[in-house]
A and B are shown apart, each in its own frame.
Chain A
Amino acid sequence: MRRAYFKFSWIAAALLAPQLLIIFVFFYWPSMQALYWAFTLEQPWGGGNTWVGFDNFTKVLSDPYYWGSVRVSVIYALATTVLAMTMALTLAIFVDRQLAGYRVWRVGIIWPYAVAAPAVGLAFQFVFNPGAGIFSYINTIAPGWWDLSKYPWQAVTAIVIAGAWKQVAYSFIFFLAALQSIPRSLTEAAAMDGARPLRRMVDLQLPLLTPTFFFLLVINITDSFTDSFGIVDTLTGGGPFRATDLMVYKIYTDGFRGFDYSGAAAQSIILMLLVMALTFVQFRYVERRVHYT
């Protein structure tokens, strides 16, 4: 393969600088800082950090609350990813088949992507409110049955639904684009070969979607591990009884509410390693089954 080599030039450096600066300021610098904090302990009233080695990590990893947080984070990530991708694929197939009004749906389905996570959380707080809306009707039939602030499984369900709702849009765009890039003649050939629409979907469309599917799996899982703060904060505040205390949310509460910067930094490093490991596993084992055309 031919490669292009470029000579160093000041113009290129100047053009790259703004982007590099942003990445440095908002990623490398904080990451370095977190790494430093994770291996040190800040003195109570300031006055410098003491090197403590892996103490912060052992403390975090021996904390049963932390493992609870990991457990619910994994449940949340898997549930939102499965739910969001299933919904997105279903909607994309309908839109791709150009059912009545598909143009309106296409725009309508993309919109949620533009809504900020805290706004989503707030909106769903109204939806899931036990005293108003749909669930108040259910509660009049079965009093006290629905209460986010009382039942852990309901709180988890609520953040999963809100999180999935927000992620549907992104996956939908990619699924729709992938479906529309399948040549029409392929579908027609399958129709001539006797396959009905459902059969064509299973034998033809889904296998050809695997690259998109894999890409979205990585993105969605990473997103649900790292980008769930806004929804949790507005919808459940991590409760009840730490039932929705996702890893990201725990980092925030331990760090900024509990002022345990070192513990929170250690957690950030663990989360980062976890996401990297997951992505690696997905590339290693899932991508093998992907068919690229």
Chain B
Amino acid sequence: MAEIIIRNVAKTYGKTTIMDGVNLTIRNGEFVVILGPSGCGKSTLLRLIAGLEDITDGEIEIGGQIVNQLEPRERGCAMVFQNYALYPHMTVAENIGYALKVAGVAKAERLARIEATAKAVGLADFLDRKPGQLSGGQRQRVAMARAIIREPKVFLFDEPLSNLDAKLRVQMRHEIRRIHNAVGATSVFVTHDQHEGMTLADRLVIMNKGTIEQIGTPEDIYEHPASLYVAGFVGSPAMNILPGSLDATGLSVLLADGQGLDIPSSFKARAGQLVQIGLRPEKLSILPKGHGQLSATFQFFEELGSARIYHLLIEDIPLGVVSEHKLSLTEGETVGIGFPTSALHVFDGPSGRSLDRPGVAERVAELV
């Protein structure tokens, strides 16, 4: 049981800065997912917490203790690696029990705990196998068991599901969440998969180029992305982005093809400011020509079974609409696009920051 506090952490390799000024507080027992594209520094952050890399600057605290100078073994964290990192020459039982053996736990107790842990993850029948004789999902379970058996204060997951096929990935996702709920340890989970992030997390941390873009609940991040980057990264299909500029009143956005779009005065936008309008495809609906706030040209649709993704154009800017309605439209047909005002996101053009809520920096400051 431990709270993790990351204060102003920076990491550089030689002259390359991987991460700078990262602040994050992970509450006791919380499941936090760090989400970002490859190379954004998310794995590095996890390895800094684990103690596998040295911190260049700043402070990491686990359970009230500054761990900067502590070895990995002294930090009370267990880690599940992307490639599982199972010891190939040891049996499943030996793999699971290795930490206990190193810690000098008596053999009888060790065997009992190995058995109990193996049972908990459904490996009881495979204890004598070597990792090479297991399937991907079973290896994943061994890696989990190896982490669980130590009863750690903190679980660290480094993209543990990325080597599994889609079906198994969903199954293991549920299992991880179930184990987290049962064990109650603080969990930090790194992934580039937004579905994993959205479904697993109590809170999501979105990272980009070594800094934190936004911290919030999955719902919060989906509904109120703090930047264009977050808006584009979370949600599938991706949010529609329409560039434009505010007119003299500051209440209407002039889009590329000359149509105007009224925005409420609650946005912190100035007259003449360059902006990007964000609209989630699933919040839009296709209306007859002349209705709704926008007009667009229909191109084609993709069938999903439960819904369709309609692909439209506003001049040459693509616009996607997800709708359950089976509409019969012809290519090149002009239609109206309608949406509730609450679905409207406005971002500053050059910086990409959201104009409807405080910026990321202020949000992070609040949390620390």
Chain A residues engaging chain B, CB cutoff 8 angstroms: 183, 185-186, 188-196, 199, 203-204, 207-208, 291, 293
Contacts and interface: CB of A to CB of B under 8 A. Distances in A.
A257 B278 CA distance: 95
Contacts, number: 59
Contacts of A188: 52, 72, 79, 81, 85
Nearest to B77: A192
A194 B86 CA distance: 15
Interface residues of B, number: 23
B285 interface: no
Interface of B: 50, 52, 71-73, 77-79, 81-83, 85-89, 98-99, 102-103, 132, 146, 150
A268 B124 CA distance: 58
B98 A192 contact: no
Contact of B73 (A185, A194, A203, A207): A194
Q: Which 5 A-B pairs have the closest CB atoms?
A: A185-B85, A189-B85, A193-B99, A194-B73, A194-B102
A194 B88 contact: no
B102 A291 contact: no
B103 A194 contact: yes
Contacts of B87: 186, 189-190, 203-204
Given A188-B52, A199-B102, A293-B132, A193 B146 contact: yes
A183 B29 CA distance: 31
Contact of A191 (B52, B82, B83, B146): B52
Nearest to B104: A194
A193 B81 contact: no
Nearest to A186: B85
Contacts of A185: 81-83, 85
B88 A192 contact: no
A190 B78 CA distance: 11
A189 to B, nearest CB: 4
Contacts of B72: 188, 191-192
15 contacts: A188-B79, A188-B81, A189-B79, A189-B87, A189-B146, A190-B87, A191-B52, A191-B71, A191-B73, A192-B78, A192-B79, A193-B98, A193-B146, A293-B88, A293-B132
Nearest to B82: A185
Given A189-B79, A193-B73, A208-B89, 19 more contacts: A183-B83, A185-B85, A186-B87, A188-B52, A188-B81, A188-B85, A189-B85, A189-B87, A189-B146, A191-B52, A191-B71, A192-B50, A193-B99, A194-B99, A195-B102, A196-B73, A208-B88, A293-B88, A293-B132
